Structure 1
């Protein structure tokens, strides 16, 4: 237990003792003492304790030592701490988040070293950290082990990790603002040395902050050191640029152009329709099954979303497969999201089922060679469709540059049509705060239209 209640007494000389000079002090109700042969040694130690007291440093009631000395005694290296942090986070994290943690730590750890003498190749060190140290394997007995402890790594990987384990700074070094700044500045750059995207910096900084919080939890740090550094992450502009979001007419033309790309294009028309008319995320649409749809012969239907699939690599999933299927984004695992779908999407899905059926597990959309739908596959079809549906100048611009643009188009259409932001957020799987951050302009236009309707109603009242 740490306390500010400490008192340091004068040095007492005890004759006829080998260590005649006794330093005494009290922490809380408990007394402590230390004897020295030479008075200068006792004076020096008393001076250290007095300095800690004057600096308003807390003392440990168990050892009697200042908190900084207790921390130094229990200190570990940054490298060892990150291994413990990654292992702690692994069981409850999605495969995508596991890879993100590894990416962030592999960016920071090579910078937090005592010196660069004998440093291994930069890319080799990153591979060693990202693919070996921060990747874990669940054993047959249920224990979680680093891949490094389960498989035999190549000699150059072993050498790189031996270097970083020896050179890594002690955790106490993170109390120095310049060390923290070194880590933060590393987040600003990509591997090739160019500036990283604002959202990438923000994501990695969150991992760094959480890793430091875990150090405080474990007692390796007494306080979060980020507050000591005057460092501001790059500003992020989350608001969507509606100049490049396709309107309803162009969105339909793009989906029709997808259908013109042969059998593969026809197979993906309903997939892109789900992005546009139900505002699905690609990972949500990729995992849809026939049972998820209500498809009446006429009128509106419904799709019930319950899972999302992303491709992250087999090393990050519990199953060893390259696809990770989880619950809906930032929702409880068993949460579902029913979304009404217009007749145009009902027809697309019915036609898809008639022509292509489903996979053995009931999924509507799959890769050309079977298995999970690959982003590079539907991305290539989308790229070809843009060249058909857009003019030359439009195709050269960011207009509908990625399939995700269709989701933006769908959400924008709902807002422009007068659907309440709360209902739009529910259908899209957003929080209200996120919806307002991303779609501020569309919401503002909708509010203007609502104001005009209210004004007309008030005018009518005045006329009456």
Structure 2
């Protein structure tokens, strides 16, 4: 048992007196593993009784706590017992209402990854795949649990009977095994850094909840010497496309059938206005302000103004989550803008190139009955898999073989990085870029630090100028 010792010495009681020689108190003194302890009593009988209890515990071989100095059994209280699986379900239910659909999935994944470390028996054990599926899709899903099939219910029943008690997490070795399982891939290798930190945070929150339920005295993860790897939030400069590459990619999107032509504007909004994909799918015609067409004095026809800027004004996003994780059963969850309060809007300028693309999109495809710009070919929700497939094929056709094998624009989200990098390199103040991108200034500069071109050379020139007078031979 960790944090305990059997090396105990009980010393003679110290009689404490004031300056007049009158006895004021009695101090019991003892040590555990060399660490001194003391406790003061007003009466001699109280001190003698306490000292006698210490001596008896030491003689009977009771372990003493290094944290309190007293016998371990003195601090033991009867606690409710709960299996890990039952507790994990209770924690998922506790977090469900306030959590976003995406975070609900994160909780289920973290608990699913950690649970194998808490299994007590292999007898009658279902396959690992069946266990993971049952936990992630049903057991740790508050909405779905009661709807599990008979086969899945049997798997969950086996889990309920074959996981250790939460009280087992008072042992550091068990806590370490739990964390190791939660931060590893199925092949035993270490998970991605972001996954490690996310799962560790979720489990730490779960342990706080166990303390609240009085299943544990304290959070065992906080006491563990376990340091997660560092996470880098900086954008990889190699993933950022230049304007020529972006235009080739958009042209390659347009050439694809049947979805490409209606997706050009979708990708263009990310590249030219820096919106997140979940913000773009929610855009409606009422979120767009386009400049008035100008009449050509020679032909008399209406044309796009030469330098006509528009504006995007929006107040929500709709990240994909899956029907089983949203409250209303929709594929996407309607939410406020990231890092902003409910109802708060963001305004982003719409450059002339994007104005032309959006006007052409509206002219050809219009909007759905709800006013949304982007839908599937047959109407309905724009599927994320469709966007990813079209983008992957566009990279194959628009980029060189070497570029296609690199991180260049590998994810759709990299178009947003390209947009924000363009704004910063064009000299737009960081405060304005942060407002358009929906970031705080410090986060913006931390993420895009390596994408600001020319600052290092400018800094070198300033240093060289400052040292010119010192360049004479010594």
Q: TM-score, normalised by structure 2?
A: 0.77
Q: 2:133 aligns with which of 127, 130, 134?
A: 127
CA distance, structure 2, for counterparts of residue 226 and residue 318 of structure 1: 32
Give the C-alpha shift of residue 74 in structure 1. Answer: 2.3
Say if 1:391 and 1:171 are closer, same or farther in 2 by CA, change over 3 A.
same
| d(CA) in 1 for partners of 2:123, 2:245 | 58
Shift in CA distance, 428/453, structure 1 to aligned 2, threshold 3 Å? farther
Matches within 5 A, 1:33-182: 51=64, 55-56=67-68, 66-67=74-75, 69-70=76-77, 72-137=78-143, 147-148=144-145, 150-151=146-147, 153-155=149-151, 157-182=152-177
Report deviation, 1:211. 0.8
Kept in 1, the 8 Å contact 2:235–2:451? The answer is no
The alignment partner of 1:136 has SS state of coil
User: Does residue 236 of structure 1 match 2:234?
Assistant: no
What's the CA shift for 1:153? Answer: 2.8
- 1:131 offset after TM fit, Å? 1.6
Q: Distance in 2 between matches of 1:444 and 1:389?
A: 24
Name which of structure 1's ranges 359-368 and 244-253 shifts more when overlaid on structure 2: 244-253
The corresponding residue for 2:339 is 330
1:15 is matched with which residue?
none
RMSD of aligned alpha carbons? 3.3
How many residues matched?
Answer: 404
- Of stretches 311-320 and 389-398 in structure 1, the one that deviates more from structure 2 is 389-398
For 1:141, the equivalent position in structure 2 comes to none
* Post-superposition CA distance 1:404-440 (Å, at most 9, x none): 1111100100110111222212211122333233211
**Structure 2 partner of 1:405:** 414
Higher-Rg member (1/2): 2
Aligned equivalents of 2:199, 2:378: Cα separation in 1: 35
Deviation per residue, 1:278-336 (Å, 9 max, x gap): 11111111111000011113421111122211222211011112222211123222221
Contact 1:258 1:385 survives alignment (8 Å): yes
Question: 2:293 aligned with 1:309, yes or no?
Answer: no
- Residue 252 of structure 2 is matched in structure 1 by 257
Deviations 1:204-261 (A, max 9, x none): 1111111111122222222221233222223323222212310122112211222222
User: Does the CA contact (< 8 Å) of 1:416 and 1:446 recur in 2?
Assistant: no
Residues 338-376 of structure 1 deviation map (CA, whole Å, 9 limit, x = unaligned): 111111111111111011000111110111222111121
Label 1:47 to 1:227 Cα distance change in 2 as closer, same or farther (>3 A). farther
User: Which one of 282, 296, 314 corresponds to residue 277 of structure 2?
Assistant: 282
Post-superposition shift, 1:443?
4.2
Change (3 A) 1:263 1:51: closer
Match of 2:203 among 194, 205, 208: 208
Q: Are 2:212 and 1:217 equivalent residues in the alignment?
A: yes
| Cα contact 2:116–2:181 (8 A) shared by 1 | no
State the partner residue of 2:13: none
Deviation (angstroms), 1:97: 0.8
Partner residue of 1:343 out of 352, 358, 376: 352
SS in 2 for 1:382: helix
